[in-house]
Chain A
Amino acid sequence: MTESPDHILIASILIPLVAGALMLFYGETQRRVIAVVSTVAQFIVALELVDMASHHTTSIGLYLLGDWPPPFAIVLVLDRLSALMVLLTSVLALSAVVFAMARWDRRGQHFHSLFQFLLMGLNGAFLTGDLFNLFVFFEVLLAASYGLALHGSGTLRVRAGLHYIAMNLAASLLFLIGVSLIYGVTGTLNMADLAVRVPLVAAEQQPLLAAGAAVLGIAFLVKAAMWPLCFWLPITYGAAPPPAAAVFVVLSKVGVYVVLRISSLAFGTAAAQMTGFGAEVLLWGGLATLVFGTVGVLASQGLGRLASCSVLVSSGTLLAVIGISGLGGGSAMIAAALFYLVISTVAISALFLMVELIERGESELAAILTVTAEAYGLGDDDLGEAELRSAGSGPGVPGATTVLGFCFLTCALLIAGVPPLAGFLGKFAMLSAVLSFDDLGKRDIPLIGIAFTAVVIISGLAALIALVREGTRTFWAAEEEELPSVPLVELVPVIVLLALTLGASVKAGPVMDYMEATATSLYHPHVYVRGVLGAETMPEAGK
């Protein structure tokens, strides 16, 4: 076998790394070009990865870093789930980068570099097959996200950023404790090797392993914002600049992704006594997050806050479903949850982008921004009132209010999960899978299913009420004149994101097939495990 290794796997980490570093040598205009080129390249690579992953049914894509044989060194692993997440990231990134070009990238230093490093961390976290390497990529994406959360400065952002950083530093330390406990018990950091070794752990060592996994889980659940670890999220996301917040939506899905990955590999059906470890915590924590997010959505006064609370609702739903499936649910509910994950992430991301477009006309926000600029001594620079009011660049769109109104309506329908759009399909598939699950076993699945259904439906209703209230206030209120003109570069990303979800509603069949294949492979991790551990290194040159 002399086939070349899949170098394309590492491309999605190298491209943003090189682009982010390279643009430091160039001026503002060239930086934008590099950012767009790099993000488009990542999108193409992500498409290729999804294509590769969907052709692998009995094997997985693998990249041995330094060509060391697993499980001794770091590997990058490509399966359907990681390919899906990388694609989702690149779609959101592309729209956020284009959106930021209108004005946000000039409101502080190095927006595009930080953004590329964030993408590098995200892609790396999705592709890595090693626990400690996951920690490193987590830190890369967190460090970049600290910078982005503070982008534009101002008291509000710095205060929210301080809490965000302190919270995440503490969570990172928990991550390290968890990883080292797991290493101490099992002697491995490779996730596939972990799947093999967890069932073999001696009974007296199991409490230690459980403690390690629980501590590790807390670190991920802080990221995924499970109640009661979620109080930082609405403040930080609400204060972050919109293009950054749009990608932060995927950041909270990293936590969900890792929980799903680890619980399928290490605590799946093959894990003997450790099967379903932590599933009940996920279930009840997820339900609590859902309730908390729902109350938050209803209580929100601003759109930014509302969008942040929708992130909580989305996280809570996903965690609860992962919990139910860990208790013995089938792969169908995971497939539906993945569909919901994609749709809700894209919709909330679009909402974050729209927040600022909608609120731009409202004097309140403009006032805050002006005060911010003054406090930072930038009042007479390019951040002045005139610049805020007028279009940043590019021609304005006629009838922007009408277009924005339609976009907002679409977004509201998607997030609330009302027919006929994809949000409804995702929720419906999830609920039908949870309710039709009748393998009673010892647990009270029907009761849990009914409770979950009730909470999800109520949260959808709450989202609908809150969004409609906000929309009425913005688009139908007569006292406000026409919204200030909206440049095309800011409107197009929103429309593209929403068009994608419309595409997913029309083409729900093929998309759902992909999700089902993903969920099935998560339920049968032996393909992953065998793929990683059976990997062969390249034959040495000259032999």
Chain B
Amino acid sequence: MEAVLAIAIGILVASGVWLLLRPRTFQVIIGLALLSYGVNLFIFAMGRPRTGAPPVLDKAGIVDTSLYADPVPQALVLTAIVISFATTALFLVVMIALRGLTGTDHVDGKEPDR
């Protein structure tokens, strides 16, 4: 599982960085989205994930915490997903505004001289 997770994070982040450095706004926003997926998985991975362990304790008094998954990274991921979703939506609005104002989808608002 570790290998699959690591490879997935690597591919997402690599594609994200590549797209982020491209000149078109659409590529940039997709790049940011992919990057945020990669980062979210990364946060999740930092909680040392394992299968079959619940993150929420029962009401059974003292329990063996080693049988449970770490709930903190899962809470962090939830927050990070919400925030990156919102900021990506905001970026989309600005992107469309720039497209409307300049008539091009280049990040600098003008086509490079050829």
Which A residues lie at the B interface, using CB under 8 A?
132, 136, 139, 142-143, 146, 150, 153-155, 158-159, 161-163, 165-166, 169-170, 172-173, 176-177, 179-181, 183-184, 189, 375-376
Residues of A within 8 A of B5 (CB): none
Summarize B's interface: helix, strand, loop or mixed: helix
Q: Is the CB of B90 within 8 A of A170?
A: no
Shortest CB-to-CB span from A378 to chain B, Å, is 13
Q: Is the CB of B42 within 8 A of A180?
A: yes
Residues of B within 8 A of A154 (CB): 101
Q: Is the CB of A159 within 8 A of B95?
A: no
Cα(A132)–Cα(B75), bound, Å = 11
The verdict on B87 contacting chain A, using a C-beta distance below 8 Å, is: yes
Q: Pick from B35, B46, B72, B73: contact of A170, CB below 8 A.
A: B35
Q: Is the CB of A162 within 8 A of B107?
A: yes
Q: Is the CB of B91 within 8 A of A155?
A: no
Residues of B within 8 A of A170 (CB): 20, 32, 35
Q: Is the CB of B88 within 8 A of A169?
A: yes
Q: Is the CB of A176 within 8 A of B39?
A: yes
Q: With A165-B91, A173-B35 as known contacts, state yes or no: A139 contacts B83, CB within 8 Å.
A: yes
Q: Is the CB of A158 within 8 A of B91?
A: no
Q: With A143-B90, A176-B43 as known contacts, state yes or no: A158 contacts B76, CB within 8 Å.
A: no
The verdict on B28 contacting chain A, using a C-beta distance below 8 Å, is: yes
Can you list 14 A-B pairs, Cβ within 8 angstroms, ordered by A?
Answer: A132-B79, A142-B87, A143-B90, A146-B94, A155-B98, A159-B98, A162-B94, A165-B94, A169-B87, A173-B35, A176-B39, A176-B76, A184-B48, A376-B101
Cα(A136)–Cα(B88), bound, Å = 15
Which B residues lie at the A interface, using CB under 8 A?
20, 25, 28, 32, 35-36, 39-40, 42-43, 46-48, 72-73, 76, 79-80, 83-84, 86-88, 90-91, 94-95, 97-98, 101-102, 107-109
Q: Pick from B79, B87, B91, B98: contact of A136, CB below 8 A.
A: B79
Cα(A294)–Cα(B91), bound, Å = 32
In the complex, what residue of chain B is closest to A133 when comparing beta carbons? B79
In the complex, what residue of chain A is closest to B97 when comparing beta carbons? A158
Q: Is the CB of B42 within 8 A of A177?
A: yes
What 3 A-B pairs come out closest when comparing CB atoms?
Answer: A184-B46, A180-B46, A180-B43
Residues of A within 8 A of B98 (CB): 155, 158-159, 162
- Most chain B beta-carbon contacts within 10 A, residue among A139, A142, A161: A139
Summarize A's interface: helix, strand, loop or mixed: helix
Residues of A within 8 A of B88 (CB): 169
Q: With A155-B101, A158-B101, A184-B46 as known contacts, state yes or no: A173 contacts B36, CB within 8 Å.
A: yes
Residues of A within 8 A of B108 (CB): 159
Residues of A within 8 A of B39 (CB): 173, 176-177
Q: Is the CB of A166 within 8 A of B28?
A: yes
Q: Is the CB of A136 within 8 A of B94?
A: no
Shortest CB-to-CB span from A512 to chain B, Å, is 40
Shortest CB-to-CB span from A168 to chain B, Å, is 8
Cα(A63)–Cα(B73), bound, Å = 24
Cα(A153)–Cα(B96), bound, Å = 13
Cα(A159)–Cα(B110), bound, Å = 10
Cα(A172)–Cα(B28), bound, Å = 15
Cα(A154)–Cα(B80), bound, Å = 31
Q: Is the CB of A183 within 8 A of B46?
A: yes
Cα(A23)–Cα(B7), bound, Å = 48
Residues of A within 8 A of B43 (CB): 176, 179-180
Residues of A within 8 A of B109 (CB): 155, 158-159, 162
Q: Is the CB of B102 within 8 A of A155?
A: yes
Q: Is the CB of A180 within 8 A of B73?
A: yes
Q: With A139-B87, A163-B107, A184-B46 as known contacts, state yes or no: A158 contacts B35, CB within 8 Å.
A: no
Q: Is the CB of A161 within 8 A of B94?
A: yes
In the complex, what residue of chain A is closest to B35 when comparing beta carbons? A173
Q: Pick from A155, A166, A176: contact of B32, CB below 8 A.
A: A166
Cα(A143)–Cα(B83), bound, Å = 10
Residues of A within 8 A of B84 (CB): 169, 172-173
Residues of B within 8 A of A177 (CB): 39, 42
Shortest CB-to-CB span from B107 to chain A, Å, is 7
Q: With A146-B90, A165-B90, A169-B88 as known contacts, state yes or no: A136 contacts B83, CB within 8 Å.
A: yes
Q: Is the CB of B76 within 8 A of A180?
A: yes
Cα(A189)–Cα(B72), bound, Å = 10
In the complex, what residue of chain B is closest to A376 when comparing beta carbons? B101
Q: Pick from A142, A159, A172: contact of B102, CB below 8 A.
A: A159
Cα(A146)–Cα(B28), bound, Å = 17
Shortest CB-to-CB span from A109 to chain B, Å, is 13
Q: With A146-B94, A150-B94, A180-B73 as known contacts, state yes or no: A172 contacts B87, CB within 8 Å.
A: yes
Cα(A142)–Cα(B83), bound, Å = 11
Cα(A176)–Cα(B9), bound, Å = 14
Cα(A177)–Cα(B42), bound, Å = 7
Known contacts A172-B87, A176-B76, A376-B101; 4 additional CB pairs below 8 A are A142-B87, A165-B87, A173-B36, A177-B39
